[in-house]
């Protein structure tokens, strides 16, 4: 396999930061758990690098979690369904809207895949009734069926027989994790967090999340959290409190497309927090360091230590 497969287009996917994030996942991890899997970019990249042999992929969005399972367990059937739905768009200008209406009735994961592939920026949006209401991107048709099939077969080759899928609230997943696991958490963006927001079907509250992390600390669980960040000097999202005693790392995510358009030099940094149990397990250096990779997104990882 020449590259890491990504069948699902998903705004907020961590695929571009996966190699930077996976540096904090030890080799021979018994199980990687993703309670907020989205497109499962981190599990896929972790399996590609053979860092773990078991995966628990969870997302509160049921059609999304079911789609991930179908891709892994039945890639050819899922690819054939995608091709059928994708081909039908050429005969009907209203195809996207019909698929969207049908999806809102049936919650079919196959229809959801086409909507994600074809909608603006792969960005899910829901109205107040929980209906998917994103528009189609009129400039493109969505991933070609042949590319989709290859991506699905490769994702399946990496995860089939090694992955468990569920659609639970993250708190439920976290009550069942073990100290031999590594948990990667990428909750919905703050600022749009809350019990209900239009970006995701479900949400979290900052307070609940902090108290859940506190419980994980008490149980000695190894975990990584993507949370707040900053662009230039402007912070977005609340940072995690010092009392959680986490290692704080800033990943350089490059210049945002908006900054580039405006001719600005502002770099976006995304925070990564490492639990004490994981930092110990990795014997992670506490001094600041800088690191470069050959990737387009140069990773400058500044490490500072909380308490
Ligand atoms: C920022 S996205 C994760 C993106 C993912 N890291 C990727 O690479 O694609 C956050 C995900 O959390 C899910 N989510 C929101 N609230 C949740 C909850 N209470 N429990 C579990 N998942 C939840 C959303 O459906 C969404 O897919």
Mean pLDDT, range 99-110, rounded to an integer: 98
- DSSP E strand boundaries for 121-274: 163-166, 181-185, 222-231, 234-236, 247-255, 267-274
Whether residue 244 lies inside any domain: the answer is: no
Q: Which of 40-49, 108-117, 119-128, 207-216 has the lowest mean pLDDT?
A: 119-128
- Going by C-alpha positions, the residue among 108, 188, 154, 124 that lies closest to residue 7 is 154
Whether residue 300 lies inside any domain: the answer is: no
Name the residue range of residue 201's domain.
1-226
CA of 227 to the centre of ligand 1 (A): 12
Q: Is the pLDDT of residue 135 over 80?
A: yes
Q: Which residues line ligand 1 (CB under 6 A)?
A: 10, 12-14, 35-36, 38-39, 41-42, 59-61, 169-170, 186-188, 200-204
Q: Specify burial of residue 203 (Cβ count, 10 A radius: 0-12, 13-18, 19+).
A: middle
CA of 190 to the centre of ligand 1 (A): 12
Whether residue 256 lies inside any domain: the answer is: no
Q: What is the CATH number of the domain that holds 168?
A: 1.10.1020.10
pLDDT score, position 254: 82
- Going by C-alpha positions, the residue among 235, 41, 60 that lies closest to residue 122 is 41
Whether residue 117 lies inside any domain: the answer is: yes
Whether residue 242 lies inside any domain: the answer is: no
Mean pLDDT of the residues in the chain: 87
pTM of the model: 0.90
Across 170-184, 186-200, 230-244, which has the greatest mean pLDDT?
Answer: 170-184
Residue 299 confidence class, pLDDT cut points 50, 70, 90:
very low
Q: Which of 52-61, 122-131, 158-167, 287-296 has the lowest mean pLDDT?
A: 287-296
pLDDT score, position 238: 87
pLDDT score, position 307: 33
**Total domain count for the chain?**
1
Whether residue 40 lies inside any domain: the answer is: yes
Q: Which residue, judged by its Cα, is nearest atom 23 of ligand 1?
A: 60
By most ligand atoms within 8 Å of CB, the mutation choice from 188, 196, 211 for ligand 1 is 188
pLDDT score, position 183: 98
pLDDT digits (tens, 9 = 90+) for 35-64: 999 999 999 999 999 999 999 999 999 999
Whether residue 50 lies inside any domain: the answer is: yes
pLDDT score, position 243: 95
Whether residue 157 lies inside any domain: the answer is: yes
């Amino acid at each position: 396999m020449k590259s890491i497969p990504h069948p699902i287009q998903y705004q907020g996917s961590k695929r571009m930061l996966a190699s930077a994030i996976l540096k904090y996942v030890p080799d021979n991890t018994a199980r990687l758990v993703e309670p907020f899997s989205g497109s499962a970019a981190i599990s896929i990249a972790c399996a590609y690098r053979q860092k773990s042999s078991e995966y628990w992929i969870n997302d509160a969005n049921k059609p999304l979690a079911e789609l991930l399972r179908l891709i892994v367990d039945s890639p050819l059937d899922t690819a054939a369904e995608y091709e059928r739905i994708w081909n039908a768009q050429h005969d009907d200008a209203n195809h996207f809207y019909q698929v969207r209406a049908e999806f809102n009735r049936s919650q079919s994961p196959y229809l959801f895949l086409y909507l994600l592939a074809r909608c603006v920026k792969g960005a899910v949006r829901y109205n107040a009734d929980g209906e998917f209401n994103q528009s189609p991107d009129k400039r493109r048709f969505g991933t070609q069926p042949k590319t989709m099939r290859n991506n699905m077969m490769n994702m399946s080759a990496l995860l089939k027989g090694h992955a468990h899928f569920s659609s639970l609230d993250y708190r439920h997943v976290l009550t069942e994790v073990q100290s031999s696991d590594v948990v990667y958490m990428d909750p919905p963006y703050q600022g749009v967090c809350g019990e209900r927001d239009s970006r995701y079907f479900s949400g979290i509250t900052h307070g609940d999340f902090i108290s859940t992390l506190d419980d994980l600390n008490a149980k000695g669980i190894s975990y990584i959290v993507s949370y707040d960040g900053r662009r230039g000097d402007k912070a977005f999202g609340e940072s995690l409190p010092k009392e959680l005693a986490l290692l704080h790392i800033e990943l350089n995510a490059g210049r945002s497309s908006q900054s580039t358009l405006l001719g600005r030099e502002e770099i976006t940094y995304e925070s990564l927090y490492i639990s004490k149990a994981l930092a110990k397990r990795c014997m992670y250096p506490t001094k600041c360091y800088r690191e470069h990779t050959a990737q387009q997104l140069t990773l400058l990882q500044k490490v500072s230590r909380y308490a």
